[in-house]
Amino acid sequence: MSISIGYRPLGPTVALSVTASAHTPVAVLCNVSEQPYFAGLLNTGALPVYVSLMPLSQTGAAPALTGTNTPVFPVDGTSTSITNGILLPPLMEIPILIAAPTGFNGFAITAIASGAGPTIIYVAPFTRMT
Protein backbone atom coordinates (compact mmCIF):
# COMPACT_ATOMS: atom_id res chain seq x y z
CA MET A 1 0.00 0.00 0.00
CA SER A 2 1.44 3.35 -1.00
CA ILE A 3 0.87 6.60 0.80
CA SER A 4 0.64 9.87 -1.05
CA ILE A 5 0.64 13.35 0.40
CA GLY A 6 -1.09 16.21 -1.34
CA TYR A 7 -0.08 19.83 -1.17
CA ARG A 8 -2.14 22.92 -1.87
CA PRO A 9 -1.09 26.49 -2.59
CA LEU A 10 -2.04 29.12 -0.02
CA GLY A 11 -1.35 32.26 -2.02
CA PRO A 12 -0.12 33.77 -5.25
CA THR A 13 3.16 32.92 -6.94
CA VAL A 14 5.82 35.61 -6.65
CA ALA A 15 8.51 36.13 -9.31
CA LEU A 16 11.99 37.50 -8.59
CA SER A 17 14.44 38.69 -11.23
CA VAL A 18 17.78 37.71 -9.68
CA THR A 19 21.24 39.03 -10.55
CA ALA A 20 24.70 38.79 -8.98
CA SER A 21 23.64 41.35 -6.36
CA ALA A 22 21.50 40.23 -3.44
CA HIS A 23 17.81 40.79 -4.14
CA THR A 24 15.85 42.94 -1.68
CA PRO A 25 13.71 40.66 0.54
CA VAL A 26 10.19 40.12 -0.82
CA ALA A 27 7.21 39.00 1.25
CA VAL A 28 5.37 35.86 0.10
CA LEU A 29 1.94 36.12 1.71
CA CYS A 30 -1.00 33.75 2.02
CA ASN A 31 -4.52 34.51 0.81
CA VAL A 32 -5.91 32.75 3.86
CA SER A 33 -5.15 32.98 7.57
CA GLU A 34 -3.14 29.80 7.56
CA GLN A 35 0.54 29.12 8.20
CA PRO A 36 2.45 27.97 5.10
CA TYR A 37 4.60 24.97 5.94
CA PHE A 38 6.41 24.81 2.61
CA ALA A 39 7.85 27.11 -0.03
CA GLY A 40 7.56 25.99 -3.64
CA LEU A 41 10.65 27.13 -5.59
CA LEU A 42 11.39 27.06 -9.33
CA ASN A 43 14.45 28.52 -11.11
CA THR A 44 13.74 28.95 -14.82
CA GLY A 45 16.96 30.79 -15.62
CA ALA A 46 20.33 29.55 -16.87
CA LEU A 47 22.24 30.38 -13.66
CA PRO A 48 22.31 28.69 -10.25
CA VAL A 49 20.56 30.78 -7.58
CA TYR A 50 21.04 30.73 -3.82
CA VAL A 51 17.85 31.65 -1.94
CA SER A 52 17.30 32.51 1.69
CA LEU A 53 13.94 32.33 3.48
CA MET A 54 13.08 34.49 6.50
CA PRO A 55 10.06 34.53 8.82
CA LEU A 56 7.62 37.43 8.97
CA SER A 57 6.18 38.89 12.15
CA GLN A 58 3.03 40.88 12.87
CA THR A 59 3.90 44.56 13.27
CA GLY A 60 0.76 46.67 13.33
CA ALA A 61 -1.45 45.84 10.37
CA ALA A 62 1.24 44.52 8.04
CA PRO A 63 3.75 41.64 8.17
CA ALA A 64 7.35 42.69 8.73
CA LEU A 65 10.74 41.01 8.39
CA THR A 66 12.05 39.50 11.60
CA GLY A 67 15.67 39.54 10.50
CA THR A 68 17.95 39.93 7.53
CA ASN A 69 19.74 37.22 5.65
CA THR A 70 21.95 38.45 2.83
CA PRO A 71 22.55 35.48 0.56
CA VAL A 72 26.10 34.78 -0.59
CA PHE A 73 27.61 31.92 -2.53
CA PRO A 74 30.19 30.03 -0.48
CA VAL A 75 33.69 29.88 -1.95
CA ASP A 76 36.02 26.90 -2.04
CA GLY A 77 36.54 25.41 1.41
CA THR A 78 33.89 27.56 3.13
CA SER A 79 30.21 27.32 3.92
CA THR A 80 27.43 29.84 4.15
CA SER A 81 26.17 30.91 7.57
CA ILE A 82 22.55 31.21 6.45
CA THR A 83 20.37 28.51 8.01
CA ASN A 84 17.23 28.81 5.85
CA GLY A 85 18.96 28.76 2.48
CA ILE A 86 19.13 26.44 -0.49
CA LEU A 87 20.90 26.40 -3.84
CA LEU A 88 18.55 26.09 -6.83
CA PRO A 89 19.97 24.50 -9.98
CA PRO A 90 19.49 26.24 -13.32
CA LEU A 91 16.74 25.42 -15.84
CA MET A 92 14.50 23.57 -13.39
CA GLU A 93 11.51 21.80 -14.95
CA ILE A 94 9.80 20.82 -11.70
CA PRO A 95 9.56 22.99 -8.57
CA ILE A 96 10.85 21.77 -5.23
CA LEU A 97 9.17 22.15 -1.85
CA ILE A 98 11.25 23.07 1.18
CA ALA A 99 10.20 23.81 4.74
CA ALA A 100 9.17 27.44 5.18
CA PRO A 101 10.17 29.38 8.29
CA THR A 102 7.37 29.89 10.80
CA GLY A 103 6.05 33.42 10.78
CA PHE A 104 2.98 35.58 10.41
CA ASN A 105 0.87 34.68 7.35
CA GLY A 106 3.85 33.91 5.11
CA PHE A 107 7.60 34.35 4.80
CA ALA A 108 10.14 36.51 3.00
CA ILE A 109 12.65 35.46 0.37
CA THR A 110 15.88 36.96 -0.93
CA ALA A 111 18.21 35.52 -3.56
CA ILE A 112 21.48 35.94 -5.45
CA ALA A 113 22.55 34.48 -8.81
CA SER A 114 25.97 33.04 -9.57
CA GLY A 115 26.44 35.50 -12.45
CA ALA A 116 25.17 38.75 -13.94
CA GLY A 117 21.86 37.27 -15.10
CA PRO A 118 19.12 38.08 -14.72
CA THR A 119 17.47 34.76 -13.98
CA ILE A 120 13.84 34.39 -12.92
CA ILE A 121 12.76 32.34 -9.90
CA TYR A 122 9.20 31.68 -8.78
CA VAL A 123 8.08 31.06 -5.20
CA ALA A 124 4.70 30.25 -3.65
CA PRO A 125 3.45 29.28 -0.18
CA PHE A 126 2.11 25.72 0.27
CA THR A 127 0.64 23.50 2.98
CA ARG A 128 -0.32 19.82 3.27
CA MET A 129 -3.81 18.82 2.25
CA THR A 130 -5.81 17.48 5.16
User: What is the DSSP pairing of strand 26-29 with strand 106-113?
Assistant: antiparallel
Helices (H) and strands (E) in the chain, counts: 0, 10
Q: Is the pLDDT of residue 94 over 90?
A: yes
Which one is predicted more confidently, 27 or 93? 93
Angstrom distance (rounded) from CA 34 to CA 125? 10
| Percent of the chain whose pLDDT exceeds 70 | 85
3-state SS record for 93-122: CCCEEEECCCCCCEEEEEEEECCCCCEEEE
Which one is predicted more confidently, 59 or 9? 9
pTM of the model: 0.84
Assign residue 40 the CATH number of its domain: 2.60.120
Q: Which domain range does residue 22 map to? A: 7-71+84-128
- Is there a domain that residue 2 lies in? no
- Is there a domain that residue 107 lies in? yes
Angstrom distance (rounded) from CA 52 to CA 35? 18
Angstrom distance (rounded) from CA 30 to CA 39? 11
- Residues 119, 47 contacting (CB under 8 angstroms): yes
Q: What is the pLDDT of residue 121?
A: 97
- Is there a domain that residue 77 lies in? no
pLDDT digits (tens, 9 = 90+) for 35-88: 788 999 999 999 999 998 888 876 544 555 555 567 777 777 777 666 678 899
